[in-house]
Amino acid sequence: MIDRSLPPLLSVRGLEKHFPLGQGMLGRAVRHVKAVDGVDFAIWRGETLGLVGESGCGKSTTGRAVLRLLEPTAGEVHYDGMDVRALDRESLRAFRRRAQFVFQDPFGSLNPRLSVGAMLEEVLEVHGLGGANRRDRAVELLELVGLRPEHIDRYPHEFSGGQRQRLGVARALSVEPEFLVLDEPVSALDVSVQAQVVNLLEDLQAELGLTYLFIAHDLALVEHVSDRVAVMYLGRIVEIADAANLYREPRHPYTRALLSAVPRPDPVGREQRERIVLQGDVPSAVDPPMGCPFHPRCPHPAKDDVCGSVRPLLEGDPGGHLAACHYQPSGVETST
Amino acid sequence: MRKVLILGVASLTAGCGGEGGQRTASNDPFCQAVLPAVEAFMAESRARNPTPDDPRYGGTLVIGSIGELADGMNAAISTDYSTTQHQQFVNLMTLIDYDPEGNARPYLAESWDVAPDGTEITFHLRRDVFWHDGEQTDAYDVAFTYETVTDPLTAYPNAAFWDNYVKGPNGVAVVDDFTVVIRLEPHAEFLDPFRSAAILPEHLLGDVPRDQLRVHPYGTQCPVGNGPFVFAEHRPQDRWLFEANPAFPDALGGRPFVDRYVYRIIPEQTTLLTELLTENIDVYISPGPDQAQTIIDNPNLELRSYPFRNYILVGWNSRRPQLADARVRRAITMGTNRAEIVEAILRGYGTVAHTGVPAFHFAHSPEALPRLRYDPERARALLDEAGWRDRDGDGVRESADGTRLSFSIKYNTGNQQRQDIAEIMQSQLAAIGVEAQPQVVEWATLLQQINTPELRDFDGVIIGWVAEFKVDDTDLFHSERIDQPYAWSGTQNPEIDRLLDAISITVDRSEATNLWLEYQRVLIEEQPYTYFYFPDRLDGVNRRVVDVVMDARGEWVNIKDWYLDPSSR
Amino acid sequence: MTKYLARRLLGAIPLVIGIATIVFFAVNLAPGDPTLRFLAPGMNQEVIEQMRANFGLDQPMHIRYVKWLGAMLTGDFGYSFSHSRPVLAVLRDFVPNTLVLSAVALVVAFVLGVLLGTIQAVRQYSKVDSGLSVVLLFFYSMPSFWLALMLILTLSLFARNVWELPIWFPASGMVSTDYEFLSFGAQLRDRFMHLVLPTLSLALVLTAGIARYMRGSMLEVIRQDYIRTAHAKGLSERVVVFKHALRNALIPIITLVGLYIPVLFSGTVFIEYVFAWPGMGRTIYEAILTRDYPLVMAGSFFFAAMVVVANLIADVLYAIVDPRIRYE
Amino acid sequence: MSAESAPALLSVRDLRTWFFTDQGVAKAVDGVSFDVRAGETLGIVGESGCGKTVTSLSVLGLLPQPPARVMEGSSVRLRGEELIGSGERRMRALRGNEISMIFQEPMSSLNPVYKIGGQIAESLRLHRGMDRKAARAEAVRLLAEVGLSEPERRVDEYPHQLSGGMRQRVMIAMALSCEPSLLIADEPTTALDVTVQAQILELLAELRGKFGMAVLLITHDLGVVAEVCDRVVVMYAGQIVETGTVYDIFGEPAHPYTRGLLDSLPSVEDPGKRLDSIPGTVPNPIDWPTGCRFRARCPLATEGCELPQDLVELGEEGRTARCWRAPSLVATGAAT
Amino acid sequence: MSSDVGSLVVEHHQGTSRGGRLLSAILPGLPQLLAGRWGVGSAALLTWVGLLWIVVARPSRVASALGGAWDEQLAVGTLVVGLSTAWLWSWRDVAAAHEVKRVGVSVWELAVRAFSKNRTAVAGLLVIVGLYVIALLTPLVAPYDPAFQGDLLRERYVSASAAHPLGTDQFARDVLSRLLYGARISLLIGFVAVSISVTIGTLLGAIAGFLGGIVDGVIMRFVDMVISFPRLVLLITIIALFEPSIFLITAVLGLTLWPGTARIVRGEVLSLREREFVQAATALGFSKTRIILRHLIPNALGPVIVAATLGIGNTIVLEAGLSFLGLGVQPPTPSWGTMVADGRNVLLNAWWLSTFPGLAIVFTVLSFNLVGDGLRDALDPRLRS
């Protein structure tokens, strides 16, 4: 089980990723989209950290930057004691055998020209895995993700969305990793199929002892799969806590609004339900607001000038419920 | 937005070239200065010499041709055939010209005297010839022209005309305003240069540095001539427009009949033919033999054909071992059915050539010469005799040391007739065991390959010459010129040297005729070239143009006498 | 926008110089030189050397290159050997003619192409669609000089002499020889008549390409959600196609303006030759053959510059048609 | 609500819309019947490919024909007037006037090259015969109505200058411009973030009350259905499998498919509980299974399911299910 | 709409009996024709009958070609391969008709199916294949040696007759034979030039697109330069100034065409680079070379194939244009372009000289364009309805 007394498998500090926007007179970028703007978190071996937020909040970029699919602009990423950002070409390749990525779009994440077998065998070949019987190993992988051996000669377009997502998982698992970044792995799928894939992921985690960073926008789903949950807003984590705590006692006004906005599949008492409807839209990440990024939309009654000028730190109980708000409900100690 | 765009185009269309009308004012300062004078003099002359009341006067004559009048009316820099014709007969005047028999007759020069020792010619000029800006044409113009064309700085391409003349300050002397003396070494056909080089206006060009003449606006932007037609407009690559000169001397026929004469440049022959057939042009200069029938078939048109001054030849590089032996060269000539080729390629519009002496030349008498007729049997025998036999049975003869009788025949790109000759020769020579490979080379490259004395990178080359009235083969075959560009064949024959030297100084024609005949006999024996044919000149002319004379002297000889059938105007 | 355009123009300078440089060396490295045009019997080596000197060809190539580049940057293109005039004056004679021809052809091709492409897209897979495709491709597949000759034979020669139609088009030139004596209206008509065959020959070839792109672009656009929105508003097919779809479908077509300008200029070489149109295409071709280096280089420079300008125009059109684009 | 007694505003009977493709005939909608009564909100819910969107587009005649064809015998009546075969001119008069529609992708549903004011005014000028000035003033008023700040300025903006939520508001303004009696909303919030979704749903509810129009809401999100609908139609494989009030459907689902869908969602009460997924995938519309189309995936399938199924009436009016076992399932109240 | 379409498509062949096999043994293609598969059926039948006709009508030519020059041997080889392919294919097709194979269907196969539905495009393809086959068979098919000159005085400019189906030219040579030999030159130039350009263009475009940065900048500036200059002027400049050999023309055509391909490939690669499967390849630790060669180029190939098809057509037209300017393939080698250009001056009295090669160009290029268009539709799912 999860042992938090050990050092975390992955720890991220001050991670930033800025994308240049347009070009100036001399070809130098004048403005940047601050997609990820100072993110800290840690994941322990065997756990699932859920990362939620609305579109454009930087959760996907965070996932990619952690695995260096995108080069971070700043910050530290340590994986099992290694400095991920300092890896050279060879050690990066070794790192990628240990940490893998599953993509959101089941249509775009598979090379349409390669059959399933060719795709899996290629990975095995590149990493020198599977010995002489790479095809057998490929079949094994298919079975592992609940597909049939005869699927091996088919092409991606011959599969349904759910099956394709299974293929994505199989491909990630082919290098026998211990850590997976799952980027919205089920959001493109129908409800009934979503449940299949979620169950598969949970089974695999149990079976293979995997660690997940689970990125999604569906709050109910994240609650279902995660041990801990981090909520992102405008490139920053605004709240992070054990799943149960976060959903029961959200501390950040954004988290609260988010939770209240989720439609519930239960019409009973819907008229009485209290819902916090936020005003306006998420501000631009090119020019995020001063202070608390959420303050322009914040419905908190105590909102004041401080919110507009001082950036709140992620703080809270030592037990692990942290929020970045100047006005957290319970009197919490300030942790530096 | 769209409206603006279309309007913009429309105004562009309407705007450019709209200047129309009279002499185009080039913004060059020289032209700005000169053209008003022309305008004024013409207006004055028109008033003085009103157009006679004769139905033959009037109308616009249009001639179409594939080429631009390169370098324009500046006679000191141009060599192009059509251009020189315009200088001689349209815009400028020469001292003398030729009658249809090729005898010199007065033109700008009223008369001339030749010193008994043949070292001086004195020209007496007409006094009624005026430059189109009103200045009188006088002896200073003649002297200026002579000095200019003989000055190396000018780099006059035809400077060789003047090889036997005295160059520098002693070459010419102005006796009075209308009398000028030219000094020379005695030689044959000494009058010919004065027929070919037109006189230029000294008062306009006298101050121009000679090496700058080429870029002077006179030639193409505002030539001021003294001939029967006045320059009015030149749109490069499109047309030249000339107008009748009302001040042209009555003694020489007065103003031309047509009001305006347009020379149009149409590079594509099919287009030209269409324009002739749709009567957009009156004369089509030199259509191809293949187009002749279409012209003949049209009742409104007339095909004119006449012997001309050019001939086509295959020059052999005798420096090559395969071609060093004159017997081989004669065999090649005999193995080629030139009569058939004339019939086939020229559709009969031409005559087989045996030497480079054309029909208009006084020494032209092929019947007095031995001729190498098509005779494959004799050709084979000759080759056998020369030691070329097919020793390995591959159909191609070899010499004793194993050299194959195989060579290339080069010709330039884009010339259908030469290509045809090469292909037919290839096919016919194969029958006598000679392998000839046609090889096409871009024109400038070809000239470099054959003309560069150190290079001479060719075996056989198909090329054409336009002969002047004065025929002189010295540059081609005289062994003294072996290092000069045109000694393609590398001929070194003392007999030829002797005869060429003699011909060049023999003034008397009957004496010269004998020398010419002797020379041609040697030449046929030597066969430095396989002479192919003298093509006839063809011209398509609309029948509404009357009194047209076209002969070896050229198309424009009597253009001032042409008139347009009044009913067609 | 102005700043953007200025930057684009600056960025185009190396491109234009690069092209002119390639052409300079291609022309200069080739065998032969301009003096060869003056072949005449007895022309000896000295005359040729003097002529070279008069042309300024007596210096080594790299020095000529530096001189030429320097002069060009100050706007001095030198003298044309074959026209015996400053190159700029030669350009001034020919460039407007080529521009008229290609501009009209471009407009005709675009109007036709856009219209036909739209029709094809709206009637996808119908007989009209495939019929138009084949007809347009037929013209597209013809060598343009061949098409030009065919047009001359049919619309000029046969129309006048054989079929004796009331209307036939002149086969060459920009105006008739009696142009100066015509009334203004007749002059306009005369110019139009002379434009018809050359522009048709140039435009028909392009039309197929434009129609093809337009069809594709239109097909993509009419599948867009906002077209469905327009239908859902109750707009008629005509309004939906010509108001909502056309403008969007035109956006990618604008890029073709820039792409087709070089193609068009290539075409002018043939068309100007066949129709005796005194323009740049024919002039540069003849300049190459006569090795008129300064003119070849200046002509190349002009072509490259026109392409740059056309691309800029395309960019401006882009911004006009597509509000999403703002150049900064 | 007195919905039951009101006459049907829109009455769809035996609607069959088939697509004739190269691969075969896809029976996307295959015999669908339902009523929308004045003023009510009817939800059509189902997974992708079930035919819900095709149904809505068929009502307005917006499907490209070919390849689509509305088959003989289908009937769509608006206040008793038959729309199938009524002619393009008549349909155009109704579209955007009596019936208007909003779509899933607010990003792409507005024409990018025209100002939003013009796009709204277009409807007004067409159906209301307003002149340019009046239409513009009305557009400003409508933009204010849908809660867009600074409507005077917004009216001259282009779609790309607006956020997704704002664009959906513009779409709504456009749809409401002629005060339609029926609004078809096809997945109006699917592409939006939860907080914006909440805004839009609230706006729709508010406007519906104000204009008294009926809404046909098409969605795959059971939560949204539960929040806003009065009655629900569940579709599967081109057919309706269950109808009823929102309370019936969520409280006592009668069809095994409906149940499966609800069970696939993470439970609110017990987030950690393993999900119950529906096995398999949606069948191919070119080749629907015979008999009960859900049979292959149904946990309760037995003998008898291979026969074609009809909608079975269950007690109250408007409560039906396409399952021969439904009455007994409802009676036993077996909610697994 | 359907998620599982690809695998459901099943070959429905008419099951055939022993009769079908017998028929196939005699006339390959006939059983397929009878089954209504006119495309493949007529192709097989035409190949069979056509090639057999050569053997029957020209036995001596075939025999002598066996020991002849390399192109003659190639022709015999083509003959043998063509005959056996048609026969074997039909036989196996008939025999295997009832077997239904059920393996994965790749995107290429889907494109082939989409393409084969496009009748005009298939017709174009058949024409092209036919042309290439005829070009290979020319030594056996052509009635005369293309350089053979008849009687110059009597057989020049003879219009169509039994002896010369398309008439004769100015040397009394057979136009049909020259047209057939010309096909070889024109098709070869088109094919080789485009191969050169596609290879260079694809590699450089993929490298520029994937690596980006300075490499991209340098390559694309060069591409801009070449692309924004009228290609013909560049061609004329180079060809006019040096000797216009087939080799030079082909090379120069090829070397000036690639920037277009490079631009297309770069554009494709730029968009592919953002696709998740390419990111997945990076995440799996694949090398850049592998990603470019195995994951990017194959996926960018669709538009390249289209461009190549259209490019061949373009090149043939361009070669004709060069011939018009006297810069094309030089005589006596017959290329269509040269034939059209040479014959144009006699259009009014010997129209066949220039018209037949002209039509040959038009129809060949038209075929290439139709195929290109068909491919574009087949390979670009966005244009399908």
Q: What is the per-residue pLDDT across D42-90, written as a single tens digit (0 to 9) for each?
A: 999 988 888 888 999 888 888 887 788 888 888 888 888 888 888 888 8
The distance of Cα D163 from the centroid of its chain, to the nearest Å, equals 24
> What is the rounded CA–CA span in Å between residue B331 and residue B354?
14
- Closest residue of chain C to B444, computed from CA coordinates: C32
DSSP state of A292: S
- Within a domain: residue D1? no
Please list, in sequence order, all residues whose beta carbon lies within 8 angstroms of the beta carbon of residue E369, skipping any fewer than 6 positions away.
C137, C140, C141, E124, E309, E310, E313
Instruction: List CB contacts of D91: < 8 A, sequence separation 6 or more.
Output: C234, D60, D61, D83
Confidence at residue B174, expressed as pLDDT on a 0 to 100 scale: 95
Closest chain D C-alpha to A128 CA, distance in angstroms: 34
Measured between alpha carbons, how far is E289 from E295 in angstroms, rounded to an integer?
10
Residue B428 within a domain: yes
C-alpha to C-alpha distance for B19 and B8, rounded to whole angstroms: 19
* D268 to A270: CB separation less than 8 angstroms, yes or no: no
Closest residue in C to E117 (Cα–Cα)? C125
Distance CA B440, CA B434 (A): 19
Q: Which domain holds residue B322?
A: 310-535
Q: What is the pLDDT of residue B22?
A: 45
* Contact with chain D for residue E4, Cβ under 8 A: yes
Of B344, B416, B426, the CB nearest to E342: B416
- Whether B316 maps to a domain, the answer reads yes
Using 50 as the pLDDT threshold, list the residues of chain C that sit under it. 328
- Examine chains D and B and say if they touch (3+ CB pairs below 8 A): no
Measured between CB atoms, does B237 come within 8 Å of chain C? Answer: yes
Beta strand pairing call for D41-45 and D214-219:
parallel
Question: For the residues A246-271, what does the mean pLDDT come to?
Answer: 86
Nearest CB to E326; choose among B273, B340, B414: B414
Which of D144, D160, D179 is a domain's end point? D179
**Between chain B and chain C, are at least 3 CB pairs below 8 A?**
yes
Same domain, D236 and D134: no
B422 within some domain: yes
Contact A161 E3 (CB under 8 A): yes
Contact between D264 and A258 using a beta-carbon 8 Å cutoff: no
Specify the pTM.
0.83
- First and final C-alpha spacing in chain B: 46
Contact with chain B for residue E159, Cβ under 8 A: no
Nearest CA in chain D to E2: D284
Nearest chain E CA: its distance from C296 CA (Å): 9
Burial class (CB in 10 A: 0-12, 13-18, 19+), B427: middle
D245 domain-assigned: yes
DSSP annotation of A132 reads T
Cβ contacts of D289 on chain E, cutoff 8 Å: none
DSSP B164-232: TB--GGGSEEEEETTEEEEEB---TTTTHHHHHSPP--HHHHTTS-GGGGGG-TTTTT-----SSEEEE
Instruction: Specify the pLDDT at position E101.
Output: 52
d(CA B492, CA C41): 19
Paired tokens of A220: 């109910």
Distances (CA, A) of E74 to B289, C260, E66, E87, E250: 41, 41, 9, 20, 22
Q: Are B189 and B362 contacting, i.e. CB atoms less than 8 angstroms apart? A: no
- Residue A319 — very low, low, confident or very high, per pLDDT cuts 50/70/90? low
- Could C234 and D101 be called an inter-chain contact, meaning their C-beta atoms sit closer than 8 Å? no
Domain A10-104+179-186+209-323 has what CATH class?
alpha beta
In a domain, B88, yes or no: no
Chain A residues with beta carbon closer than 8 angstroms to that of D195: 54, 257-258, 261, 277-278
Q: What residues of C are in contact with residue A22 (Cβ under 8 Å)?
A: 328
Instruction: Dig out the tokens for D329 from the structure.
Output: 């399932």
Residue at which a domain ends, from D138, D159, D179: D179
What residues in E contact B413, CB-CB < 8 Å? 244, 326-327, 330
Q: CB A25 to CB C7 under 8 A? A: yes
Low-confidence ranges of chain D (pLDDT < 70): 1-7, 331-336
| Contact call for C7 and A22, based on CB within 8 A | no
**Bridge partners (DSSP) listed for residue B124:** B111, B179
D48 contacts chain A (CB < 8 A): yes
Q: What is the mean pLDDT of chain E?
A: 81
- The three-class DSSP label of residue C282 is helix
Kindly determine whether residue E280 and residue A101, on different chains, have CB atoms separated by under 8 Å: yes
| Shortest Cα distance, chain E CAs vs residue D227, angstroms | 29
CB contact under 8 A, E106 and A115: yes
Q: Which of residues 94 through 113 in chain B touch C, CB cutoff 8 A?
A: none
Would you kindly state where each structural domain of chain A is located, as residue ranges?
10-104+179-186+209-323
Size of interface D-E (CB pairs under 8 A): 29
Across the interface, whether the CB atoms of B17 and C174 are under 8 A apart is answered yes
Q: Would B95 be classed as within a structural domain?
A: no
Q: What is the CATH number of domain E175-383?
A: 1.10.3720.10
Domain presence at residue B273: no
Q: Mind telling me how many Å the CA of A156 is from chain E's nearest CA?
A: 9
Same-domain check for residues D23 and D77: yes
User: What CATH number is given to the structural domain containing B449?
Assistant: 3.10.105.10
Q: Are the C-beta atoms of residues B188 and B507 closer than 8 Å to each other?
A: yes
Q: Judge: D112–C321 Cβ closer than 8 Å, yes or no.
A: no
Domain-embedded: residue B57: no
- Helices C144-151 and E297-324: crossing angle in degrees, nearest 10, is 50
Of C228, C231, C233, the CB nearest to D126: C233
- Say whether E8 and D23 touch across the interface (CB within 8 A): yes
What CA–CA distances, in Å, run from B261 to B26, B91, B247? 20, 11, 16
| pLDDT score for B283 | 96
Q: What per-residue confidence (pLDDT) applies to E331?
A: 67
Considering only the beta carbons, identify the residue of E241, E321, E385 that sits closest to C30. E241
Asked if the Cβ–Cβ distance from D108 to C234 is below 8 Å, we say no
Inter-chain CB proximity D111 and C231 less than 8 Å: no
Q: Nearest CA to D51 among D65, D68, D72?
A: D68
Token pair recorded at residue B355? 């030497």
Mean pLDDT of E1-26: 52
Residue D45 shares a structural domain with residue D132: no
Q: Which residue of A has its CA nearest to C5?
A: A25
Put simply, whether D65 touches C (Cβ < 8 Å) is no
Percent of chain E with pLDDT over 90: 5
The runs of H, that is alpha helices, within chain D are 52-60, 88-94, 116-127, 132-145, 151-154, 164-176, 194-211, 222-228, 246-251, 256-264, 326-332
* Cβ contacts of B335 within 8 Å, gap of 6 or more: B374, B376, B379, B428, B429, B431, B432, B434
**Phi–psi pair at E205, nearest 5 degrees:** -60, -45
Mean pLDDT over each residue of chain D, to the nearest integer: 85
Q: Which of D22, D26, D67 sits opposite E117 (nearest CB)?
A: D22
Question: What pLDDT does E111 receive?
Answer: 80
Q: Residue E35: pLDDT above 80?
A: no
Domain end (from D146, D179, D212):
D179
Q: Provide the shortest C-alpha distance from residue E11 to chain D (in Å).
A: 12
Quick one: D207 and D255 in the same domain? yes
Residue to mutate among C15, C141, C265, with most E CBs inside 10 A, is: C141
Q: Under 8 Å CB-to-CB from B244, ≥6 apart: which residues?
A: B228, B229, B230, B255, B256, B257, B258, B259, B260, B261
Q: Which domain holds residue D124?
A: 104-179
CATH of C87-321 given 3.90.1150.10, 2.40.50.140, 1.10.3720.10, 1.10.10.10: 1.10.3720.10
CB contact under 8 A, D262 and A195: no
pLDDT in tens, E344-362: 888 888 888 888 899 999 9
pLDDT in tens, chain B (569 residues): 333 333 333 333 333 333 333 445 567 889 888 989 999 999 999 999 898 889 999 999 999 998 888 888 999 888 788 999 999 999 999 999 999 888 899 999 999 999 998 899 999 999 999 999 999 999 999 999 999 999 988 888 888 888 889 988 889 999 999 999 999 998 888 999 999 899 999 999 999 998 888 888 898 889 999 999 999 999 888 999 999 999 999 999 999 999 999 999 999 999 999 999 999 999 999 998 888 989 999 999 999 999 988 899 999 999 999 999 999 999 999 999 999 888 888 888 999 999 989 888 888 888 889 989 999 999 999 999 999 999 888 889 999 898 999 999 998 876 778 888 898 899 899 999 999 998 888 777 788 788 888 889 999 999 988 777 888 888 889 999 888 888 899 999 999 999 999 998 888 888 999 999 999 999 999 999 999 999 999 999 999 999 999 998 999 999 999 999 998 87
Are the C-beta atoms of D280 and D296 separated by less than 8 Å? yes
Cβ neighbours, 10 Å, residue D332: 8
CB-nearest partner of B343 from E153, E243, E344: E153
Task: Kindly state whether residues D207 and D260 are assigned to the same domain.
Answer: yes
Q: Which residues of D touch E385 (CB under 8 A)?
A: 64, 67
Which chains does E contact via 3+ CB–CB distances below 8 A?
A, B, C, D
Test D28 with E385 for CB contact under 8 angstroms. Answer: no
- How high is the pLDDT of residue B387? 92
Contact status of B446 with chain E (Cβ, < 8 Å): no
Cα separation, E285 vs E292, whole angstroms? 13
What does the DSSP 8-state code read for residue B552? Answer: T
Enter the ipTM. Answer: 0.81
Q: Which residues of D touch E117 (CB under 8 A)?
A: 22
Residue of E nearest to B339 (CA): E153
User: Which of E153, E170, E240 lies at the smallest CB-CB distance from B340?
Assistant: E153
Secondary structure element (H or E) that encloses residue E269, with its range: helix E246-274
Contact C84 B77 (CB under 8 A): yes
**Three-class SS of residue B253?**
coil
pLDDT tens-digit series, residues E109-134: 778 888 887 888 888 888 888 888 88
For residue B435, the one-letter residue type is E
Give residue E382's pLDDT band: very low, low, confident or very high (50, 70, 90).
Answer: low
pLDDT for res B304: 94
CB contact under 8 A, A220 and D275: no
Structural domains in chain B (count): 1
Chain A residue with CA closest to E9: the answer is: A158
Cα(C90)–Cα(C80) distance, integer angstroms: 8
Tens digit of each residue's pLDDT (9 = 90 or more) over A134-189: 888 899 889 888 888 888 888 888 888 888 888 998 999 898 899 999 998 888 88
CB contact under 8 A, D195 and A277: yes
Are D32 and D130 part of one and the same domain?
no
Among A315-319, D224-228, E16-20, the range of highest mean pLDDT: D224-228
CA atoms of B477 and B500, how far apart (whole Å): 9
**B519: in domain:** yes
The more confident residue out of B132 and E78 is B132
E325 contacts on B by Cβ (under 8 Å): 414
Q: Are residues D83 and D23 in the same domain?
A: yes
